């Protein structure tokens, strides 16, 4: 089976389309690398690129991405609403098919080391690739942003995993690592009472005692006058979609409120939906290799 | 996106493994053709081969399959429980991804014509490729089997679509066509009362007033002492899995019987499960191209 790893680099450019296009063109030159999606945000002055390929394709592509963006992005003059500390700000590798989390951790270390050596950019490893608990979360590594980075890196706790002990003058530092796919999942309630959505969000999210791999908040959909539980699923294999849906439905019922629908924003791994079908159909002895398209890829 | 067509040829040999192995080896030599599954049945004296590829791969592979089996299978001495009329008995082409039903009908005609010309085997087109309503169903075409074929073909109603007006001496005739994927789907009931399963089967199957693309019967699972509704879904896009499951659940409840589980036998197209998840999660505006693995194939 061909190995599929997803990679979602975020670069600190969302206003000059020609710079983003150059970066995408550089990525597309890497043999076997697929560019699945490009989203630029002018307010954030940031672009999110979604890539897929095997290790060799991603290694080549990410090094080319650094080469392209370092020549064009200077954080000393960069302004935007989104926190950032690098020209290539963050590079997560995500196991999808035929590759494991340890494969992605190994790839993150290898690519991080190569970037540090070739471009002199300090690299911090994060999430599953982190080398200490305090360096696991992106928000902790990035706190202080580019402007506070030189000062922050004087603290031995914030020495980089690879590369020089001080920031790159124009490109700052980059965060590279491995994580599970994120699923952005929203559940719409048959009420205009935002407080109900907020209570349900508190019930299901990790930070207030809910499921381990759920982040959630209540928001209003002004156009539809509906309250929504807006959810980030950070590990759908351990906290599955169907369990969160069923829990939200039960919590909503306690307020006499129906679930009117739900939505997946952006991409979702097939397995997250297949295991949902498995659950609701009460399948016995179902094996994902019974999925025709997967069997075809296994035969490749 | 690469075109994926499934093809499930049935050959009249299930007792001599070397003959089946030769046929599989011939198929594997076709560039780009994947052999997903091989099931031989000694009682039926028949093997079911599951293949996938694009038009070119299947065209090459099926012609090679005929060459391999015609040299080794002689229906004049073939015995088995399963009805058959050809050495290569039936060849359905099935659209999976990036290919439509009309594409599969065109492929069936093209392959059928090439087989008739190269091997002198009469070809009957069936299902979506049928050229008259009375020739649509396999059981009607095959009625009388190999032994009755010469007589049957004297009737102008049973002239072949391609090839000679009389059977091939050793290989009979072959049925080639296009159809939707079949899903073999069983639902297990929390009762040992076979009559409940039989009633539910009657309620859901086309032949007695149920869903258009459902065949069903009640059977006993002796080992578990459970009654089962055994179902063939012949077009999951028009009669979806979740609707059949929900209807069986409701009919069972009317008898005070729970659904204890269900099972998919063999392969299932990813879309059948994805639309099941879509249904139960009440997704709004979900587009299958949001499935990550599909987006990757679209980018190829």
Does pLDDT of B61 surpass 80?
Answer: yes
Q: Which of B78, B82, B255, B279 is catalytic?
A: B82
Does pLDDT of A274 surpass 80?
Answer: yes
| Mean pLDDT taken over chain B | 96
Using CA atoms, how far residue B193 sits from A246, B197, B256, in Å, is 32, 7, 12
State whether A263 and B241 contact (CB < 8 Å).
no
**Nearest CB to B283 within list A263, A278, A286:** A263
Q: How large is the average pLDDT for residues A231-258?
A: 97
**What are the phi and psi torsion angles at B109 (to 5°)?**
-65, -45
Q: How large is the average pLDDT for residues B93-109?
A: 96
Given this model, what pLDDT does residue A213 score? 97
Given this model, what pLDDT does residue A91 score? 98
Contacts of A245 in chain B (CB under 8 A): 280-281
Does pLDDT of A1 surpass 80?
Answer: no
pLDDT tens profile B156-184: 999 999 999 999 999 999 999 999 999 99
**B243, closest residue in chain A (CA to CA):** A281
Q: Which of A82, A137, A255, A279 is catalytic?
A: A82
pLDDT band at A300 (very low <50, low <70, confident <90, very high): confident
State whether B4 and A300 contact (CB < 8 Å).
no
State whether A34 and B299 contact (CB < 8 Å).
yes
Up-side HSE of residue B129: CA atoms within 13 Å toward CB?
33
Burial class (CB in 10 A: 0-12, 13-18, 19+), B240: buried
pLDDT tens profile A178-205: 999 999 999 999 999 999 999 999 999 9
Work out the angle at residue A71's Cα, subtended by the Cα atoms of residues A65 and A73, and round it to the nearest 5 degrees.
Answer: 85
State whether B263 and A245 contact (CB < 8 Å).
no
Does pLDDT of B1 surpass 80?
Answer: no
Given this model, what pLDDT does residue B7 score? 98
pLDDT band at B297 (very low <50, low <70, confident <90, very high): confident
**A261, closest residue in chain B (CA to CA):** B282
**A294, closest residue in chain B (CA to CA):** B270
Alpha-carbon Rg for chain A in angstroms: 21
Contacts of B300 in chain A (CB under 8 A): 34
Given this model, what pLDDT does residue A251 score? 98
State whether B278 and A273 contact (CB < 8 Å).
yes
B82 among known catalytic residues: yes
CA–CA separation, A296 and A199 (whole Å): 45
**B37, closest residue in chain A (CA to CA):** A295
Query: A201-215 b/e with 16+ CB inside 10 Å = b?
Result: bbbbbeeeebbebbb
Number of inter-chain CB pairs under 8 A, A vs B: 141
CA–CA separation, B252 and B248 (whole Å): 6
Given this model, what pLDDT does residue A182 score? 95
Contacts of A285 in chain B (CB under 8 A): 263
Q: Are A247 and A203 a contacting pair, CB within 8 Å?
A: yes
State whether A299 and B270 contact (CB < 8 Å).
no
State whether A267 and B188 contact (CB < 8 Å).
no
């Amino acid at each position: 089976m061909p190995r599929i790893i997803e990679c979602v680099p975020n670069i600190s450019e969302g206003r000059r389309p020609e710079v983003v296009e150059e970066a995408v063109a550089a990525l597309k030159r890497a043999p076997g690398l697929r560019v699945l999606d490009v989203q630029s945000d002018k307010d954030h002055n940031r672009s999110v690129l979604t890539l897929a390929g095997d290790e060799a394709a991603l290694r080549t592509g990410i090094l080319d991405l650094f080469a392209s963006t370092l020549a064009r992005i200077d954080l000393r003059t960069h302004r935007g609403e989104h926190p950032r500390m690098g020209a290539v700000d963050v590079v997560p590798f995500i196991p999808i098919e035929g590759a494991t989390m340890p494969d992605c951790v190994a790839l993150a270390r290898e690519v991080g080391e190569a970037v540090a050596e070739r471009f002199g950019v300090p690299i911090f490893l994060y999430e599953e690739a982190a080398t200490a608990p305090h360096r696991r979360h992106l928000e902790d590594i990035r706190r202080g942003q580019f402007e506070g980075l030189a000062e922050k890196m004087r603290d031995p706790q914030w020495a980089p995993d690879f590369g020089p002990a001080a920031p790159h003058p124009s490109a700052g530092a980059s965060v590279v690592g491995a994580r599970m796919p994120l699923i952005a999942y929203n559940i719409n309630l048959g009420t205009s009472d935002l407080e109900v959505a907020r209570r349900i969000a508190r019930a299901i999210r990790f930070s207030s005692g809910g499921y381990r791999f759920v982040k959630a908040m209540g928001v209003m959909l002004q156009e539809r006058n509906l309250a929504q539980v807006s959810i980030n699923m950070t590990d759908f294999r351990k906290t599955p979609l169907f369990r969160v849906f069923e829990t939200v439905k039960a919590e909503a019922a306690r307020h006499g409120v129906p679930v009117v629908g739900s939505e997946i924003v952006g991409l979702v791994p097939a397995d997250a939906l297949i295991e949902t079908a498995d659950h609701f159909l009460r399948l016995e002895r179902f094996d994902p290799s019974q999925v025709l398209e997967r069997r075809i890829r296994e035969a490749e």
